[in-house]
């Protein structure tokens, strides 16, 4: 997938008037949309085309359990065009976005939902708003993030990787631990794959990192207190702790600027993000979130 061109004007028009309406009018699904059911899916593909010869694959995997509903709504009502504006403004012209929704395999009816990689505003918005915000989750302090990571590692194929050996990006939002082990029966039940044995989350992350640069985004410092350490054990410096959920697209866009070598310092990051709409009030908060990762990336160059 991934055909067509992105239009900022079209994206802004789609979101016009959504900000103050109930979330149920934006996300209307009352169960998993049939086209987002991962069971039996062979591949989700991100391909080059005449409109976008240098495609770069980006996945937003959104925790849609009860405590995490703010970020999907923010993306669908005002934030996603901001992310795209930064990318287009800094010469990353061919982004292809896919949305996933992650819940809990032990308590939710739809623990994993998977869209397609898309290049147009209309189709990005379609898959995002087709997500079922189940609002469930378990009480164990864990969610099935590793199930989403397994799907990406085993069931996506991207031309940026196949043709150019360039990994895609995963931005996963959440506020809990992953499960330590992904049982083979859960994989078969949700995705349809039959494995010989259960998988440790460390094994899944290692396989995922062959084709993706994965980031875990925690909504605020209070929730980071309970899960940041575990995610840093898994992903190292690719854990981003925000001040508030409203910073999500500025943070993700800042990561792209840094990782793609489009900036030399944090002042340049701030310039790009401010041009896309980041306010002076939010600037120090976003900078604080990005600074640890920026120090690592800029020092490596």
Residue predicted with more confidence, 62 or 67: 62
pLDDT-derived band of residue 92, with 50, 70 and 90 as boundaries?
A: confident
Distance CA 174, CA 231 (A): 10
Task: Name the CATH superfamily, with its identifier, for domain 8-300.
Answer: von Willebrand factor, type A domain (3.40.50.410)
Band the pLDDT of 52: cuts 50, 70, 90.
confident
Q: What's the mean pLDDT when you consider all of the chain?
A: 95
| Centroid of chain to Cα 297 | 20
For residues 163 and 51, the answer to whether their CB atoms sit within 8 Å is no
Q: Is the pLDDT of residue 188 over 80?
A: yes
Dist CA 103 CA 132 (whole Å): 10
Q: Is the pLDDT of residue 168 over 80?
A: yes
Which of 135-139, 172-176, 283-287 has the weakest average pLDDT?
A: 135-139
How many other CB atoms sit within 10 Å of the CB of residue 139?
A: 8
Task: Specify whether the CB–CB gap between 89 and 128 falls below 8 A.
Answer: no
Average pLDDT for residues 240-259, to the nearest whole number? Answer: 97
d(CA 132, CA 144): 16
Specify the pLDDT at position 2: 59
State residue 285 phi and psi, 5-degree precision.
-70, -45
Residue 127 makes CB contacts below 8 A (sequence gap 6+) with 36, 98, 99, 115, 116, 118
Cβ atoms of 82 and 249 within 8 Å: the answer is yes
For the chain, what is the radius of gyration of the CA atoms? 18
Instruction: Enter the DSSP assignment of 186.
Output: H
In the chain, what percentage of residues exceed pLDDT 90?
87
Residues 85/45, Cβ–Cβ less than 8 Å: no
What's residue 67's pLDDT? Answer: 82
Query: Is 176:142 a contact under the CB 8 Å cutoff?
Result: yes
Residue 128 pLDDT? 97
Q: Above pLDDT 70, what percent of the chain?
A: 99
Which tens digits make up the pLDDT trace of 79-90? Answer: 999 999 999 888
Residue extents of the structural domains in the chain: 8-300
Matching residue, tokens 């900078």: 287
């Amino acid at each position: 997938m991934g055909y067509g061109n992105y239009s900022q004007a079209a994206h802004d028009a789609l979101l016009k008037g959504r900000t103050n309406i109930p979330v149920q009018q934006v996300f209307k699904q009352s169960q998993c949309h049939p086209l987002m059911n991962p069971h039996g899916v062979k591949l989700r593909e991100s391909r080059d085309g005449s409109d976008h010869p240098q495609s770069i694959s980006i996945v937003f995997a959104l925790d849609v359990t009860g405590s995490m509903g703010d970020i999907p709504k923010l993306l669908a009502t005002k934030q996603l065009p901001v992310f795209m504006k930064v990318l287009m403004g800094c010469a990353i012209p061919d982004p292809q976005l896919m949305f996933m929704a992650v819940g809990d395999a032990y308590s939710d009816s739809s623990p994993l939902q998977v869209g397609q990689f898309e290049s147009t505003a209309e189709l990005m918005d379609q898959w995002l708003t087709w997500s079922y915000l189940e609002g469930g989750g378990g009480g164990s302090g864990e969610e099935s993030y590793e199930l989403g990571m397994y799907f990406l590692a085993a069931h996506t194929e991207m031309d940026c990787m196949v043709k150019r050996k360039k990994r895609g990006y995963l931005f996963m939002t959440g506020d809990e631990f992953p499960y330590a082990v992904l049982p083979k029966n859960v994989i078969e039940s949700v995705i349809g794959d039959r494995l010989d044995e259960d998988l440790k989350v460390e094994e899944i992350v290692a396989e995922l990192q062959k084709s993706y640069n994965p980031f875990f985004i925690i909504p605020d410092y209070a929730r980071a207190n309970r899960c940041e350490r575990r995610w840093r054990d898994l992903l190292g410096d690719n854990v981003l702790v925000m001040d508030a959920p409203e910073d999500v697209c500025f943070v993700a866009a800042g990561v792209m600027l840094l990782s793609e070598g489009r900036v030399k310092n944090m002042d340049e990051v701030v310039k790009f993000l401010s041009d896309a709409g980041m306010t002076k009030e939010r600037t120090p908060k976003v900078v604080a979130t990005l600074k640890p990762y920026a120090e690592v990336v800029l020092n490596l160059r």
